[in-house]
Structure 1
Amino acid sequence: MGYDHADPDHAGNLHHVELCTADLATSIDFWGWFLDKLGYERKNEWSNGPTYIVVTEADNSDHPFDRLASGLNHLAFHAESREQVDELTTDIRKRADSRVLYEDQHPYAGGYYALYCEDPEGIKVEIIGPE
């Protein structure tokens, strides 16, 4: 992988995230599209600077993802602009494998300008626009 060893110049930064999925093709389609829009480069994983994201097939898909259970709740990303948040929102509304969350409060559901949506497994994804 692109960043498989620790780099002291990035101490404290997120190294990588590995997402397990029951439907690998659908998740790769969603995450590939989403991360490409955010400037990640595709290799064996998607990388952006010292951080990379991997999507793998789950060994046991008997336990669906539940963001309200103990464990991961959501992943949040910086947007380059509010226009990028708006563009991603429009695109998410067109996708069959995702949905905008908190439509009645969008784009200020968290008190700031952002998109909240779900990936195909139900993982909440947030992209936050600058002030």
Structure 2
Amino acid sequence: MSGFHHVEVWIADRESLGDWAWLLTRLGFTRDSVWAEGESWGAGGAYLSLTTSPNLSSPVHDRRRAGINHLAFHGGSRAEVDALVAAAPAHGWRPLYAERYPHAGGPDHYAAWLENADGFKAEVVAA
């Protein structure tokens, strides 16, 4: 068996969960569990946990430091990725590399890069 079982992302506070809930729902994830410190979202047999922790070394996320730079998701068709990008700002996600959209990753790579207010970056890749 191969692939991810789960990924756990530590967030500074629960306020950003709304941003993530919109994006993950839009991408076909379902909320599997909720607890006082966070939530877990599943798709394709794996899950993503978004949780706060008293053990954070800093409340500020910096994707340019060692660690995870971004999470990349399957986004469906090009039209679905375009629709997601158009709706994203109203849901807490700002487009990155807009001047090169949708080929910021190269001429054969159709994708959007988004960043939320906490500095987390998500890539949404068209099939």
Which of 3, 26, 34 is the equivalent residue of 1:13? 3
CA distance in 1 between counterparts of 2:25 and 2:50 reads 14
The alignment status of 1:104 with 2:99, answered yes or no, reads yes
Task: Report how many residues are paired.
Answer: 118
The alignment status of 1:66 with 2:55, answered yes or no, reads no
> Are residues 15 and 120 of structure 1, via their aligned partners in 2, closer, same or farther at CA, if it must alter by over 3 Å?
farther
Give the aligned residue type for 1:76: A
CA distance in 1 between counterparts of 2:114 and 2:9 reads 16
CA distance in 1 between counterparts of 2:96 and 2:76 reads 21
Aligned residues: CA RMSD = 1.5
CA distance in 1 between counterparts of 2:95 and 2:13 reads 20
Give the aligned residue type for 1:19: V
Counterpart of 1:55 in structure 2 is 50
> Deviations for 1:36-75, whole angstroms, at most 9, x for unmatched residues?
1111111211111211011111323635111111111110
Q: Offset of 1:15 from its aligned partner?
A: 0.8
Q: Offset of 1:12 from its aligned partner?
A: 1.9
Counterpart of 2:23 in structure 1 is 34
Q: Offset of 1:92 from its aligned partner?
A: 1.2
Unpaired stretches in structure 2, ≥5 consecutive residues: 34-39
Contact residue 12 and residue 59 of structure 2 kept, 8 A: no
Unpaired stretches in structure 1, ≥5 consecutive residues: 1-10
Contact residue 21 and residue 61 of structure 1 kept, 8 A: no
CA distance in 2 between counterparts of 1:49 and 1:33 reads 18
The alignment status of 1:92 with 2:82, answered yes or no, reads no
> Deviations for 1:16-39, whole angstroms, at most 9, x for unmatched residues?
111111121x22111111111111
- TM-score under structure 2 normalisation? 0.85
Q: Offset of 1:83 from its aligned partner?
A: 1.1
Give the aligned residue type for 1:46: W
- TM-score under structure 1 normalisation? 0.82
Over the matched positions of the two proteins, sequence identity in percent amounts to 38
